[in-house]
Structure 1
Amino acid sequence: MGDFFDREGDRAYNRVYKAETPDILRAWVDFDSAVFASQGRDIPLKFRELIALAVGITTQCTYCIDSHAQKAVRAGASEAELAETAWVATAIRAGGGFAHGRLAFKLAEDAIVPVHQH
């Protein structure tokens, strides 16, 4: 993904959303603005940005990592908090692998040929 990431240049492609689906774009911008409003939420903005960063790391979205790391710092996050956020995301992603491994064992049981006992 890094080869395709261009922080400034990629924004030019917003023109397609603006031209083709301006109503959906507006709804999304309004929604995102409400979620990340600086005031009026129970979870402080710094923590919402750290949550978003953890999700971005977990989903490996370069754009989310870029945006929410910077916004978290602007909201007061320290490097230690960024580091812990990355480790939380890593633990959750690894936990998903562990849990889905159990699911693989469960689903594989369907392929087991029963042994006939006499």
Structure 2
Amino acid sequence: MSDFFDREGDRAYNRVYKAETPDILKAWVDFDSAVFAPEGREIPLKYRELIALAVGVTTQCTYCIDAHAQKAVRAGASEAELAEAAWVATAIRAGGGFAHGRLAFKLAQDAAPAHTH
């Protein structure tokens, strides 16, 4: 995905959303603006941006990583906080692999030959 990433040029493609689904785009922009409002939320903006960064790292969304790393820094996050957010995401992703590995063992039991005595 990052091979196709063009921070400035890719924004030109927003025209498709604007032309084809302006109502949905507006709803999404309004929702996103509410989630990341600078004031009026229980979780301070810096922490919401660090959460968003960790989610972006977990989903491997280059655009999210780019936007939320910058927004987190503008909201006061340090490089150490960015690093810890990335490690939290890494731990959760690894934990998901561990848990889904257990699920694979469980589901594989259906394929095991029946035991005969």
Q: Which TM-score applies when normalising by structure 1? A: 0.98
Could you list the structure 1 runs, at least 4 aligned residues long, displaced by more than 2 angstroms after superposition. none
Structure 2 partner of 1:55: 55
Cα distance in 2 between the residues matched to 1:17 and 1:115: 57
Q: Shift of the alpha carbon at 1:114?
A: 1.1
Structure 2 partner of 1:114: 114
Structure 2 partner of 1:40: 40
Cα distance in 2 between the residues matched to 1:3 and 1:112: 42
Structure 1 partner of 2:94: 94
Which ranges in structure 1 are unaligned for 5 or more consecutive residues?
A: none
Structure 2 partner of 1:64: 64
Percent of residue pairs bearing the same amino acid type:
86
- Residue 68 of structure 2 aligns to which amino acid in structure 1? H
Q: Shift of the alpha carbon at 1:50?
A: 0.2
Q: Shift of the alpha carbon at 1:4?
A: 0.4
Q: Shift of the alpha carbon at 1:93?
A: 0.3
Cα distance in 1 between the residues matched to 2:100 and 2:8: 37
Deviations 1:21-79 (A, max 9, x none): 00000000000000000000000000000000000000000000000000000000000
Cα distance in 2 between the residues matched to 1:22 and 1:115: 60
